[in-house]
Amino acid sequence: MLNHGEKMKNSETKIIAQNKAARHEYFVDEVYEAGIVLTGTEVKSIRQGRVNLKDSFAYIKNGEVFVANMHVSPYEQGNIANKDPLRVRKLLLNKREIRKLKEAVQKDGYTLVPLNLHFSRANVKMDLAVAKGKKLYDKREASAKRDAMRSIDRAMKKYK
């Protein structure tokens, strides 16, 4: 049963951008919600949906978490306030969460991958996953399962 705070949170969360390739390329173990440091024109551009997470990744440096290769298009009405679209942006997490992430990344084959960017009330947040890369045969297996489920759904729909 959800308490009142969780209902409010779920109803006020709006997904802006997703990294669809992340779930195809990686096994997702844990997901953390992190705030992100942005400038005003970047937030305006994100509100218009002009952000791309496709090749983005996160890393830990000096006890802080950063996201790289997240493309935020320049705001059209912005002038000198526009920043570099591919600049490295800082993520906001607790020290305890950063320590857990650091331990997880030190395991063999694990990395930090942004899953999506969303608004939680008025703040821009990012879902950050601790993930392990899939091999080619894992991708084929996942695709085969998905195709099998589709054919089962079609067959069930036919007999209803």
pLDDT grade, residue 81 (50/70/90)? low
Please, is 70 exposed, middle or buried when counting C-beta atoms within 10 Å of its C-beta (0-12, 13-18, 19+)?
Answer: buried
Residue 49 lies inside a defined structural domain of this protein: yes
Backbone φ and ψ for 106, nearest 5 degrees, come out as -70, -15
Q: Which residue has the tokens 């997901």?
A: 31
pLDDT grade, residue 2 (50/70/90)? very low
pLDDT in tens, 4-27: 344 444 556 788 888 888 887 788
Residue 156 lies inside a defined structural domain of this protein: no
- Which stretch of 15-29, 75-89, 141-155 has the lowest confidence by average pLDDT? 75-89
pLDDT in tens, 129-138: 888 877 776 6
Residue 69 lies inside a defined structural domain of this protein: yes
Q: pTM, whole model, 2 decimals? A: 0.72
Number of domains in the chain: 1
Residue 61 lies inside a defined structural domain of this protein: yes
Residue 31 lies inside a defined structural domain of this protein: yes
Residue 141 lies inside a defined structural domain of this protein: no
Residue 22 lies inside a defined structural domain of this protein: yes
Write out the residue range of the structural domain in which residue 67 sits: 4-134
Q: Which amino acid is at 149?
A: M
The enclosing domain of 76 has a CATH number of: 2.40.280.10
Query: Above pLDDT 70, what percent of the chain?
Result: 90
Torsion of CA 135, 139, 142, 147, to 10 degrees: -160
Residue 151 lies inside a defined structural domain of this protein: no
